[in-house]
């Protein structure tokens, strides 16, 4: 039985890894837009499922939750997200005559 190293378990496949090339302004805007969409989705899930009835909240926990959600959303978008940024870029390229 072979063991799986921790670094191999957390390495993204090549199709999900963030591109090493610098982003154009349009690609950066599309990625940030997708990150905002993912963030709003994650935020609503977090508010719905993260707390228990009658559970007291720690002061300042909303700020930490927001920062964590924002970081996760940005990372997911940079790794390809749901493909919204790629779809936007394909349509922008067609509109601009580049595709």
Question: Could you tell me if 43 and 66 are in contact, meaning their C-beta atoms sit under 8 angstroms apart?
Answer: yes
| DSSP sequence for 69-86 | HHHHHHHHHHTTTTSHHH
Token pair recorded at residue 20? 């090493």
Cα angle for residues 72, 73, 74 (degrees, 5° grid): 90
* Residue 30 pLDDT class (50, 70, 90 cuts): very high
58-75 pLDDT, tens digit each: 787 777 888 889 999 999
What average pLDDT score do residues 1-13 get?
A: 49
């Amino acid at each position: 039985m072979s063991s799986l190293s921790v670094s191999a378990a957390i390495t993204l496949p090549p199709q999900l890894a963030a591109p090493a090339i610098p982003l154009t302004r349009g690609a950066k805007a599309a990625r940030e837009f997708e990150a905002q969409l993912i963030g709003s989705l994650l935020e609503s899930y977090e508010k719905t499922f993260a707390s228990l009835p009658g559970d007291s909240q720690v002061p300042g926990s909303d700020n930490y939750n927001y920062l964590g959600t924002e970081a996760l959303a940005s990372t997911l978008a940079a790794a390809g997200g749901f493909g919204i940024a790629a779809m936007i870029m394909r349509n922008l390229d067609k509109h601009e005559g580049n595709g």
